Chains A and B, each alone.
Chain A
Amino acid sequence: MLEELSSMEALIAVIIGVLTACGVYLALRARTFPVVIGLTLLSYAVNLFLFITGRLTVGLPAVISDQAAGYADPLPQALVLTAIVISFAMTAFIIMLALKARAELGTDQVDGRLDAEDARDARGGEHG
């Protein structure tokens, strides 16, 4: 049990779990900006998960050389590399949608509902 808990695998599992939990919590918020942050956290978790499907390998990058004793699985890495870039494009797209929604609806509430808070906000006032 102790051996399992103090393994790299356990650390990665905890990291992915916490990133997912944080991402989900933020994605369930009512304002666009936290949702975007939440989705970013979720994409960290997803990318990490895809990456670890190649299992954990320490110190053996997939660069061919005569001295290498072995290699990490390059396939998940290649898939995740593009996934990271695409996540960026997705984040950018969503944040622009959020800006557009705010410009057209006058609120950053995810369903476009206008309440007292937003009315004050639309006047450029301070809130917290």
Chain B
Amino acid sequence: MNLLFVVLIPFIGAGLAAWISRFGRLQSAWMAGAVALAALIALAPSVTAPFLGETLVQRIPWIPALGLDLAFRLDGLGLLFALMILGIGLLVILYARYYLAERDCMGRFYGYLLLFMGSMLGIVLSENLILLLMFWELTSLSSFLLISYWQHREDARTGARMALAVTGLGGLAMLGGFVLLGEMVGSYDLSVVLANGDLIRSDPLYTPMLVLILLGAFTKSAQFPFHFWLPHAMAAPTPVSAYLHSATLVKAGVFLLARLFPALSGTTEWSVLVMGAGLSTLLIGAYFALFKHDLKGLLAYSTISHLGLITLLFGIGTPLAAVAGVFHIINHATFKASLFMAAGIIDHECGTRDMRRINGLWRYMPYTGTLAMVAAAAMAGVPLFNGFLSKEMFFGETVTFSANHSWEWLLPGAVVVAGIFAVAYSLRFIHDVFFNGDPVDLPKTPHEPPRWMKVPVEILVAICLLVGILPAFTVAPLLSVAATGVLQSAPPDYDLAIWHGVNAALIMSVIALIGGILIYAGRRPLFKLATRLEGLLDAKAVFDWLLKGLLALAGAVTRTLDTGSLQRMLLVFILSALTLGTIGFLGGGASLTGERALLPADAVSVLVTLALLVVALWTVFLHRRRLTALIVMGALGLLVSLIFVKFSAPDLALTQLSVEVVTIVLLLLALYFLPQYSPAESSWPRRIRDIGVAGLAGGGAAALTWSVLTRPYESIADYFLENSVPGGGGGNVVNVILVDFRGFDTLGEISVLALAGLGIYAMLRDLRLPGPACDARGRPWNWDMHPTIMAALTRLLLPLALLVSVFIFLRGHNLPGGGFIAGLITAIALIMQYLANGVEWTHSRMTSNLHPVIGAGLLIGLLTGLASLVFGYPFLTSAFTHVHWPVIGDFELASAIAFDLGVYLVVVGATLLILVHLGLMHNASHPGEQETSEPNHA
């Protein structure tokens, strides 16, 4: 399982690195280094496997039903990337420790960096496509955090947001592509996908799938026309750029092309799309890189260009081109990381990155200059440096490809132009910065950086040289296994030698070198031209325009629909529901009445219905006289519970009955603080309109009800009915569903209830409401003591009511009843005491602190569920047994009773909390008079 740990260690380390920074800012750098090393060590035991020709797959089942496993694989390609991510990651960690200023928070930086490292490792080591996508999204998120690390800077925030928007949208497209791909082969495992290339390519949905996946890869790898986010991501600290834009983030896109190469490549669509994107990106990036005055801007566009080069190689689609692509991935990672680090040193020492001001630095930092020159030479493709080797393979591949196609000079010609520009911008990076006169008005006097800040650059530059001079002894084995990993078969023969004799590729290299020098020498008129052309081709402007349009559209829609008027919103809502319902019904072409046999109505039912209609209409008619309307509405609730009784739902009837009581008491208490009458303010036309809308809504609801009721249906009820007694140990199926089959739902529902109670408590805590001094008719409120007969009666009834609720609770598992109903009955019994005897009398006998009751209820519910986990059953599985009690008889003891107790406590607690605190406000609204009247009674 070591691959899992390789991925997990950076995630855990991210938290540690952020935490440890409180003990000193450098601690997190040490911690981050240790974490990266630990991940390398975890990887170590598996390193040999790819060299022995094995593909390691380690799997932990996660959601097997969805084909989603925590599955990791290690083959040559994964190994190469894991080594680059961890190796360059270590160097960046070392470099950043010197780069970051005193005021920058180290913990946050290294936390984000490790988070990103873990996500990248996840991408390259995933065996499962969905898992890969999750890590893919995590890189989008963590790179957002890294790019926006300097949160106080506007450009950092904008750049980060743009990167997130572009790569996030790409990720969404890729999800669609992955789902299509997974459904084509019937598995989300890479092993299966890679082995079924022919099946995939012949699938009718191949093209949409390919486009979606390529959208993901191209946005991530900044391919034209999605390249514009990358230069704006340069607002990040330079160590971040060195990491993200050399070996990691932008390489994720080309990694995906390489990963899925055997499954997707080899079709015309693949060649056209991938080569087209690669070639245009290669040219555009190379052109813009030359004319950027910002040091990092130059590197950003050259990165775009090199990514285009790699994409183009994979697009060519031959095995040899894929080998060249992998090789250039390695080389680009090394020379670009070192160049970014060099740029960071220059920025750090000069205080600016503007190449018009940074000149002649050779005098101040010859050592850094030497390192930068080596790296730049590798970037330009000068012989004896690693970039030369892969670039020559690249030139050779374009020639081979074009030999079989018409327009044979076009592709080689275009890539030579790109090569010329690459030489020119590499030359500019060196000549403009280290020579070309004297520095212009620098904020600082530059000097060589601290010793250890140069070490990462030295290591990378050494690799560039070693690979460039002795390829066969250094990179060859790793390249070979990585290429095997890409192709999923042995790579073709290739020769890594520096000298192949005079061939087309060599001639192209020579043209590029000479052309590049000439272009740079004659750069001044070109720069003038470029300044004039600037802004003509600006993808960022298009992005901004789209974004602005989207926001404007959203704003317009919101302003049209939401005018700040609840009545209008509700009207729009109801009319939309009506329209959708009508369209759905008319579009379906179904008849209103189904085939189910009807139940004949009896006289009592007709009477109850008539009563209900009268009461409902009466409520509306009287609604401006609020107290009367409320009382009438209470009758309505009781009639509804009669419907439940009639149609075999005793539990619902009991619940409705008790809830009705609590609701009416609540609304009565609330009404005390509100006007007793509603003014007549709606005009008649408006009332008629509302009556019309209400009539339509009611008609729609009735039609819907009718069509549902007259249609036969299939239910899953049989399962519950059959398993209720043997599985749940209870005869009352409704209760067993609540506490056992769907116990998790119930746990959620009592949590909502508890939250509502606590929310109301919080809302009422600091609220002061003035109580009315007199009633609606001008009569002063009566401060009489509580009516004696009622007080005496409720006190007598309390034990009886509590006994009833215990009875209802205990029988609930087998007969109508249960925690919800028992809880409501208890709550009503206690509320009666408040109503009849006053708050103070009741408080002196009973705690008013109900939070522990709610908490205990939730805890009991949760613990009962967890208990079944301890015994190895799924969450909330109930256990039961029958015990024989003397006198009472056979009694069943189910663990579900404990869960029901939790429900009971939450219902009692929340209901009382709401009502008691509202009741307390009555006291607060008339403090003086209450004091004089209460003690008489208590």
- Cβ of B675: which chain A residues have Cβ within 8 Å of it? 31, 33, 108, 121, 127
Least CB separation from B731: chain A residue: A64
B670: contacting residue among A4, A11, A74, A95, CB under 8 A: A95
Nearest CB on A from B919, distance (A): 13
Q: How far is the CA of A78 from the CA of B746 in the complex (A)?
A: 10
Residue among A61, A92, A126 with the highest chain B CB neighbour number at 10 A: A92
A8: contacting residue among B567, B599, B702, B720, CB under 8 A: B599
- Check: B679 CB closer than 8 A to any chain A CB: yes
- Check: A114 CB closer than 8 A to any chain B CB: no
Which of B101-109, B142-150, B759-767, B853-861 has 4 or more CB atoms under 8 Å from chain A?
Answer: B759-767
- Knowing A25-B691, A29-B682, A75-B720 are in contact, say whether A16-B567 is a contact too (CB < 8 A): no
- Knowing A33-B678, A55-B709, A81-B651 are in contact, say whether A110-B720 is a contact too (CB < 8 A): no
- Knowing A33-B626, A96-B763 are in contact, say whether A3-B652 is a contact too (CB < 8 A): no
B773: contacting residue among A10, A27, A61, A124, CB under 8 A: A124
- Cβ of A77: which chain B residues have Cβ within 8 Å of it? 649, 651-652, 734
Residues facing A in B595-647 (CB within 8 A) are 596, 598-601, 605-606, 609, 612-613, 616-617, 619-620, 623-624, 626, 629-630, 633, 636-637, 640, 643-644, 646-647
Least CB separation from B640: chain A residue: A44
Nearest CB on B from A125, distance (A): 9
A17 close to B601 (CB less than 8 A): no
B619 close to A37 (CB less than 8 A): yes
Q: How far is the CA of A72 from the CA of B737 in the complex (A)?
A: 14
Least CB separation from A111: chain B residue: B565
B674 close to A32 (CB less than 8 A): yes
Residues facing A in B646-687 (CB within 8 A) are 646-652, 655-656, 659, 662-663, 666-667, 670-671, 673-675, 677-679, 681-682
B620 close to A92 (CB less than 8 A): no
B721 close to A62 (CB less than 8 A): yes
- Cβ of B746: which chain A residues have Cβ within 8 Å of it? 82
Least CB separation from B776: chain A residue: A126
Residues 49-62 of A, flagged 1 when their CB comes within 8 A of B and 0 if not, give 10111111111111
- Check: B208 CB closer than 8 A to any chain A CB: no
- Knowing A8-B599, A88-B659 are in contact, say whether A117-B679 is a contact too (CB < 8 A): yes
- Knowing A30-B567, A89-B756 are in contact, say whether A62-B733 is a contact too (CB < 8 A): yes
B666 close to A45 (CB less than 8 A): no
Residues 692-722 of B, flagged 1 when their CB comes within 8 A of A and 0 if not, give 0111011111111110111001011100110
- Check: B749 CB closer than 8 A to any chain A CB: yes
- Knowing A22-B620, A37-B619, A108-B675 are in contact, say whether A15-B601 is a contact too (CB < 8 A): no
Nearest CB on B from A8, distance (A): 4
Nearest CB on A from B911, distance (A): 8
B769 close to A55 (CB less than 8 A): no
Residue among B636, B648, B678, B703 with the highest chain A CB neighbour number at 10 A: B648
B749 close to A85 (CB less than 8 A): yes
Residues facing A in B774-817 (CB within 8 A) are 774, 776-778, 814-816
- Cβ of A51: which chain B residues have Cβ within 8 Å of it? 644, 647, 649, 652
Residue among B605, B725, B757 with the highest chain A CB neighbour number at 10 A: B605
- Cβ of B720: which chain A residues have Cβ within 8 Å of it? 74-75
The A-B contact count (CB < 8 A) is 327
B681 close to A117 (CB less than 8 A): yes
A128: contacting residue among B600, B677, B698, B742, CB under 8 A: B677
A53 close to B708 (CB less than 8 A): yes
B717 close to A71 (CB less than 8 A): yes
Nearest CB on B from A116, distance (A): 9
Q: How far is the CA of A84 from the CA of B624 in the complex (A)?
A: 26
Nearest CB on B from A78, distance (A): 4
- Check: B752 CB closer than 8 A to any chain A CB: yes
A57: contacting residue among B648, B708, B734, CB under 8 A: B648
By DSSP majority rule, is chain A's interface helix, strand, loop, or mixed?
helix
- Knowing A99-B767, A126-B777 are in contact, say whether A92-B914 is a contact too (CB < 8 A): yes
- Cβ of B733: which chain A residues have Cβ within 8 Å of it? 62-64, 71, 74
Interface size on B, residues (CB 8 A): 121
- Cβ of B918: which chain A residues have Cβ within 8 Å of it? 96
B702: contacting residue among A17, A27, A90, CB under 8 A: A17
- Check: B408 CB closer than 8 A to any chain A CB: no
- Cβ of B753: which chain A residues have Cβ within 8 Å of it? 85-86, 89
- Check: B907 CB closer than 8 A to any chain A CB: yes
A82 close to B674 (CB less than 8 A): no
- Check: A105 CB closer than 8 A to any chain B CB: no
A22 close to B778 (CB less than 8 A): no
- Check: B574 CB closer than 8 A to any chain A CB: yes
Q: How far is the CA of A98 from the CA of B571 in the complex (A)?
A: 20
- Cβ of A60: which chain B residues have Cβ within 8 Å of it? 648
- Check: B63 CB closer than 8 A to any chain A CB: no
Least CB separation from B722: chain A residue: A64
Q: How far is the CA of A90 from the CA of B700 in the complex (A)?
A: 25
A18 close to B737 (CB less than 8 A): no
- Cβ of B693: which chain A residues have Cβ within 8 Å of it? 24-25, 28
Least CB separation from A4: chain B residue: B598
Least CB separation from A28: chain B residue: B690
Nearest CB on A from B132, distance (A): 38
Least CB separation from B756: chain A residue: A89
A74 close to B705 (CB less than 8 A): no
- Knowing A20-B697, A54-B715, A89-B753 are in contact, say whether A81-B820 is a contact too (CB < 8 A): yes
- Check: B870 CB closer than 8 A to any chain A CB: no
- Cβ of B702: which chain A residues have Cβ within 8 Å of it? 13-14, 16-18, 20
B706: contacting residue among A10, A64, A108, CB under 8 A: A10
Nearest CB on B from A38, distance (A): 8
Q: How far is the CA of A123 from the CA of B161 in the complex (A)?
A: 52
Least CB separation from B571: chain A residue: A28
B659: contacting residue among A16, A32, A84, CB under 8 A: A84
Q: How far is the CA of A100 from the CA of B617 in the complex (A)?
A: 29
Residue among B613, B697, B701, B914 with the highest chain A CB neighbour number at 10 A: B701
A4 close to B656 (CB less than 8 A): no
A13: contacting residue among B596, B637, B670, B709, CB under 8 A: B709
- Knowing A22-B616, A82-B745, A89-B752 are in contact, say whether A12-B694 is a contact too (CB < 8 A): no
- Check: B65 CB closer than 8 A to any chain A CB: no
A63 close to B732 (CB less than 8 A): yes
- Knowing A7-B600, A65-B731, A85-B820 are in contact, say whether A74-B737 is a contact too (CB < 8 A): yes
Identify 18 residue pairs between A and B in the complex whose beta-carbon atoms are under 8 Å apart, listed by A's number.
Answer: A4-B598, A12-B709, A14-B702, A16-B702, A17-B705, A26-B623, A28-B570, A28-B694, A33-B671, A40-B633, A52-B705, A62-B721, A64-B721, A72-B647, A73-B717, A85-B907, A108-B675, A110-B566
List the 5 closest pairs (A to B, CB-CB), nearest first. A21-B698, A17-B702, A89-B756, A72-B648, A25-B694
